[in-house]
Every structure is written in structure tokens, then in C-alpha cells.
Structure 1
Amino acid sequence: MARVVCVHGVGKQQLGEQTLLSQWTPALNDGMRRAGSPARIEDPDVLMGFYGDLFLPQGQHLAGGDPHYEWWDVSPGPETELLMQWWKRAAAVEPQVVAPDAENLLFGVRPMVQSALLALSGSRFFAGLAEKALIFDLKQVVRYLADLALRAAVRDRVRRIVGADTRVVVAHSLGSIVAYEALCSMPVHDVRSFVTLGSPLGIPNLIFDRVDPRPERGVGRWPGEPSSTAWTNIADARDVVALVKDLRPSFGPAVSCHLVPNGSHVHDVTHYLTKKETGAAIAAALE
């Protein structure tokens, strides 16, 4: 098994393990260089916990297209609530994004969901992301939490590649939820460093209160033995997906939380991986 297991984020259903690793592995090594570590990750040392294909429509090949969603396909409840949180956060950190409380003035009588999608089209965070892709990503997060069979299959992809030699699990975006739940479901593992990047784990109600295992008395379970598994959470202050940057109130004071500047692509995984904070957390478990 690999010393490093990576878990990708939302919207990668058209890619695959090797495609993603071709981006992740060099970035992982750059991050360790920035941290001043001599450790290096080579091809046999790293595996990708790939689950994107599980979100493709049944019977459709990996090369097929995603469903063509429109604004009315956003369902009431968690999908709409998460979309509204993205809108509020984008408006708070990007002046060009119209805030929800101004939507009636600028967007007329459009439904709230349509207004939210229109407002987010002006966000640098969602730049280049077509409306149907944004809706697909939104649905992917909510579906993971709601579809228990899918959730089990996704987590199993990660559990199968976390072996006795695995010392680091590094996970991005939705993958941080997957990796967290996978590690919590393993009776024993030897992971020494759990690194979450742009994680939505701390979002109350929609995410944090629905993770498996459920939090007890407002605190989530540690993904391993606290004495042996260190947890490092890294986020850009403007990352809309990582609405809650500080995970300590949710998972305990031992989570080491860092804010990093990712430039214009605040949620990009390669920007997260190349940071010295990420490299230091990974190298500490490998050296």
C-alpha cells in the first residue's frame, strides 16, 4: 500500500486516478520543498482514492457528459440552503458579487435560486464554471450525504487503499468529508497525518451535524487515535466551500488550522498542495 493516500474533491467524475495524480504528486513535492523538507513522494508511494465515477448516471461511460441541469433542478432543502450559503460567503469576500439582501433591487422577481446562480456567475471563485456544472457540484455534495448506499461505496474506495504503510491522508473539498468518515470507520490505522484542504467539514447543520459518526455534545470524533494522528486543516480566507475555516470548535483544540493565500483560484487543490503549511504537515509524517 502507499505511504500517502490522496482523496480528491467535487466535480472530478470525468477524470481518473492517474489523471489526478499527475497534478497532485508534483504539487505535493513542491509543498514539501517549500517547507524545507528533503522528503520526496515517488509514484509507488502515493495512491488516489478516486470516487468521481460513482456520481455518473447509471450505465454511462466515464467519457460521457454530465446532466444538463437548469436552475429549477436545484431542490428545496439542503441543496438550496448550501447554495445560499455559498452566495452569502461569495458576496462577503468579493465586492463584485451582489449580496442576497440586494437581490430584489437588481434581479427583480426572479426566484431566489435563479438569483443566487446569476450572482455567483460574477464570482471569481466560480469563474469559468458553467451553471450546470455548479449545480452538479452542489448536488454531488448533498447526494453524498443523503444517499447511504453511494456514501458507503465512496468511503470504501478510500478504505481499500489505506494500508499498514499509509502514514498520510490528504483530502480536498468533498474528499475531506469522505476521508474523515473513512478513517473514523476503521477500527485501527497507522495514519500519522490527516491533512484537509478547503474543507466544508465545519459547516453547521448541512455538513458537520450530518457526518458519520454523528458529533456527540457538539464535538466530532477524532479520525484516529488523538495521540498518534495529527490533523492539519488548511483554507484560504476567501474559499467559499470552506465556509468555516477554524475546525477547532467542531473537532477539538488539537486541530492545527492555517489560513493560506491561494491567489485568484482560492479553492484550487494544487494551490493548496504547494503551500509550505501543507508540505510541513505531510513531511512530518514521512521523515
Structure 2
Amino acid sequence: MARVVCVHGIGQQHTGERELHGSWHPALSDGLIRAEARFALDASDVQCVFYGDLFRPPGRTLTFNDPPLDASDVADGFETELLLAWWHEAARTDETVLAPDARTLARTPHAVQRALNSLSRSRFFAGIALRGLVLDLRQVRAYLCDPDLRAAVQQRVADVVTDRTRIVVGHSLGSVVAYEALCAHLEWPVRALLTLGSPLGIRNLVFDRLHTGGGDKSGNWPGAVEQWTNLADEGDVVALVKDLRPLFGERVRCQMVHNGARAHDATRYLNTAEAGRAVADACEAG
């Protein structure tokens, strides 16, 4: 019966709802302190929707949890286009990343391999193995292109949201999941949506594929929520489009935050005063 429902993003297939709660609840609590909120969140006030296991093939262990993927495993179409979009954005925000049209990259014959090589050297993707990048691409494509998987993820959200829920928080791909869930359930008493490091503004790949429940018109307001806050870090490559207002309307409150070296980190978004204020505004009324 949580007041705050949180939806994680990509790359969480080897965690779980309790593990995520263990980091998200303290970060949310710190955000409320930064915002000088008049209340604190008990552990029971926060619940994390978990769907990462839907991306995890059966029979794999936690020790060797990723297959040996390489550039040849990046599929043409959606996965390649998203990878190249990440490369363009990484080059724009990180001076150590050579731009896709740089002459120094002409000696590498394959665009996908060049993109993976460049991103592996960027600050944003530091510490992420090449196979991890490929798997992240696959998860985004799977959610947006596989109707059965999409329905299963959406059911996980519906199983958690109750009459007591006042705000849904979505990070990364979870912001897409949260947005679609709210569009599909006008009856939910959710007052607010908080999106963090969101790819919702990426036209063609994400925005144009959204299911909104209202004739599938991308850009619909998310259900019955009264307030939508979107936070982005300038260096967050996943949040390619920082300002969602041109696509979703002027009602979206778009704010920039500074997360340091871990621009896309969920907890760094959650412990900001901006996130705390969004949660406080949704919960303080009841």
C-alpha cells in the first residue's frame, strides 16, 4: 500500500525489488530532506516495481550472468539506431568521445563497432562491458517491440499501484513504463509522475512507439496526474532530449540537475531537492 511506486530502468535483470528498495528509499528520503519537506517516508511508503527478471533467461547464474556478446550481436534497425544516437549524444557532452563523423574513425570499417569502441571510452559508460551495452540495447528494443513482454511489464506496475499511491517514479526505461501505465489507467488516484533520465523524448525510436491508451497518440498527458516533473542531467546520454515540453506540452515541469560522474544513476537523481519537491508535492496533500 505504498504512496510512492518506483519503476527501474535497463540493466537491472540481476537485482530484485528488495535490493532496489534498499537504495531507492534512502535516496528518496535524502531528497525530501534537501527539499525541506514536512514529512519523512517510512520504508512501507515506498515500493519498487521489479520486471528485470523478464529479461533474464532461465538457467543462468549470478556468477556468469552475461553471454559473450559483441558488435555482431547488435541488430540492424532499432538497436543500431539507438546505439548511434547514444554515440552522438556522448560525443556532444564528453570531449573524450570522438564524434561519429570524425576522420580519425574512418579506418574502422563497421559503424556499430566504432560506436561501441567510442562509448566504451566515454565517462558515461565507464565500467560497462561491451556485452552490457549490447544487452541494454536489447532490453529497450524488447520492451518497445515485443507486445507480450510489454504487457507483462505493465502488469507488474498494475499489481503494485493502489488507491494509496500518490506518485509514480520512473527511471530510464522505467519512465516509459510508468508513462504508459498512467495513460492506460485513468482510474488510478495517482497525483504525480516523476521521470528521471528519461528517453521519452527520442522521436522515431521511443516517442513514436508509445502506447497511450487514447488511440495510441504519442504525447498524450499521462492519465489523471496533476503534475509531471522530468529531471535530466546534461551529461545523461540516455536522456537524449532533456526538455519534454515540445512533445508532451507545457505542463511538464522540466528541470536540469547535476549528478557528477554518474549522470544516469537513479539514486543521484532521487536524492536531489528537485526530486524531493516533486515527491513532497504529491504526498503532502494526503
Residue equivalent to 2:241 = 244
Q: Secondary structure at the match of 2:162?
A: coil
Q: Gaps spanning 5+ residues in structure 1: where?
A: none
Q: TM-score, normalised by structure 1?
A: 0.95
Specify the alignment match of 1:189 in structure 2.
188
Say whether the 8 Å CA contact 1:218–1:250 is kept in structure 2.
Answer: no
Q: What is the TM-score with the length of structure 2 in the denominator?
A: 0.95
| 2:156 aligned partner | 157
Q: 1:95-150, CA deviations, whole angstroms, 9 ceiling, x for partnerless residues?
A: 11011001x53351430000000011110000000000011011111111011100
CA contact (8 A) 1:219 1:249 kept: no
Residues 6 and 168 in structure 2, CA contact (< 8 A), matched pair in contact too: yes
Q: How does 1:45-194 map to 2 (within 5 A)?
A: 45-60=45-60, 65-102=65-102, 104-106=103-105, 108-194=107-193
| 1:7–1:171 Cα contact (<8 Å) kept | yes
Q: What displacement does 1:57 show?
A: 1.4
CA shift, 1:183, in A, is 1.2
Provide the rounded CA distance (Å) in 1 between the counterparts of 2:257 and 2:266: 12
Structure 1 residues 7-66: Cα deviation after superposition (integer angstroms, max 9, x where no partner):
011100000001011000000010011011122111111111100000011454677612
Letter in 1 for 2:260: G
Question: Paired residue for 2:278?
Answer: 281
Report Cα offsets for 1:247-278 as digits up to 9, x if no partner.
11111110000001111110001110011010
In structure 1, what is the equivalent of residue 250 of structure 2? 253
Q: Say how many residue pairs are matched.
A: 284
User: Counterpart amino acid of 2:76?
Assistant: P
1:126-177 deviation line (CA, Å, top 9, x unaligned): 0000000011011111111011100100111011111100001111000000
1: distance between equivalents of 2:250 and 2:169?
20
Structure 2 residues without counterparts, runs of 5 or longer: none
Q: After TM superposition, what 4+ stretches of structure 1 lie above 3 angstroms from structure 2?
A: 58-64, 214-219
Could you give the per-residue CA deviations for residues 211-251 of structure 1, whole angstroms, max 9, x where no partner exists?
102888985111122xx521000000111000001111111
Q: Secondary structure at the match of 1:277?
A: helix
What do the CA deviations read for 1:53-108 (whole angstroms, capped 9, x no partner)? 00011454677612221110001101000000000000011111011001x53351
8 Å CA contact 2:170–2:194 kept in 1: the answer is yes
Q: Distance in 2 between matches of 1:62 and 1:191?
A: 36
Q: Does 1:206 align with 2:215?
A: no
Q: 1:118/1:215 Cα in 2 relative to 1: closer, same or farther (>3 Å)?
A: farther
1:81–1:6 Cα change, 3 Å: same
Letter in 1 for 2:89: R
Q: Distance in 1 between matches of 2:226 and 2:64?
A: 39
Q: Give yes or no for contact 2:176–2:199 (8 Å, CA) kept in 1.
A: yes
Residue type of the partner of 1:243?
Answer: L
Q: Distance in 1 between matches of 2:166 and 2:214?
A: 25
Q: Share of identical aligned residues, percent?
A: 53
Query: 2:260 is matched with which residue?
Result: 263
